[in-house]
Amino acid sequence: MSILLFTAIVFLGSLVAGFLGSLTGLGGGVVIIPLLTIVFHVDIRYAIGASLVSVIATSSGAAAAYVREGFSNIRVGMFLEVATTLGALLGAFLALHLPTAAIALIFGLVLIHSAWVSSRPRDESSASVRQDRLATRLRMNGTYPSRQGLTSYNVTRVPQGFSLMFVAGTLSGLLGIGSGAVKVLAMDQAMKLPFKVSTATSNFMIGVTAAASAGIYLRQGYIDPGLTMPVMLGVLGGSTLGARHLFSADTKKLRKIFALVIFVLALEMIYTGAKGLI
């Protein structure tokens, strides 16, 4: 395969990954890493390095639009970033010492769990969530735009969400996925934020989390400019397109897309890792 064709395919795949990552809060890495490792047989650590840079691009492309439109909860995002940044540094350190097959298996298992939890329906009504004392003191409750106008919501179980964010940050540094899957689940299922607010806030957070661990990969030489550039440009373009469609997107369909995509990719990563093909 020529370099031009390789670059074009990687760019198109990254464009799709960025679009899905923006709509679901995944960050694009769950598509990028299997694409590079399974299809193009790129070493998983180089794929993770490229993915982390693309995650920063996703956050830059989508987060500004979500903040402007009122979807992102800035207070929640800034508070939880403390946990995710510390976890990202730990995850990046572990990634440099684990076998690539083990990283692939962990990647797949995490995504299967994420798909299962995400597929479970939840009542989106803000009235079903009682006010939490700690969240109220930190002024985390907010509103987001909907077809009925501004809709208010309450945030709950802040300590549980903070703990899950440390795990999310560790997975981000270890797997290069921006940990958007775990971030969305923590905010959606544990802290009871509306799904669209969760995805928008996740996009706001993933850039900081990825930047914390990307420096370690750069220092170790696992970020290849020739591979990273088409990935970053594709994800940036896709995330910008996705940000324009979030307001009109159907939440139930987003959940199904979120669960289906990561479940299929999880099976591929587990199979590839178990066979030692990565």
Can you give the pLDDT at residue 152?
87
Can you give the pLDDT at residue 246?
63
Give the whole-angstrom CA distance, residue 275 versus residue 232: 29
User: What is the domain partition of the chain in residue ranges?
Assistant: 3-126+157-274
pLDDT tens digits, the chain, 278 residues: what are they?
A: 688 898 999 999 888 887 876 666 565 677 788 788 878 888 888 988 888 888 777 666 667 777 877 888 889 988 998 898 888 888 888 878 888 788 778 878 877 876 776 666 554 554 456 778 888 888 889 888 877 788 888 888 899 889 988 988 887 777 766 666 677 777 877 888 887 788 788 878 877 777 777 888 888 888 998 899 999 898 888 877 876 776 666 666 766 776 777 787 778 778 777 776 55
Model pLDDT for residues 178-236, shown as the tens digit of each residue: 666 677 777 877 888 887 788 788 878 877 777 777 888 888 888 998 899 999 898 88
Can you give the pLDDT at residue 11?
92
Can you give the pLDDT at residue 92?
83
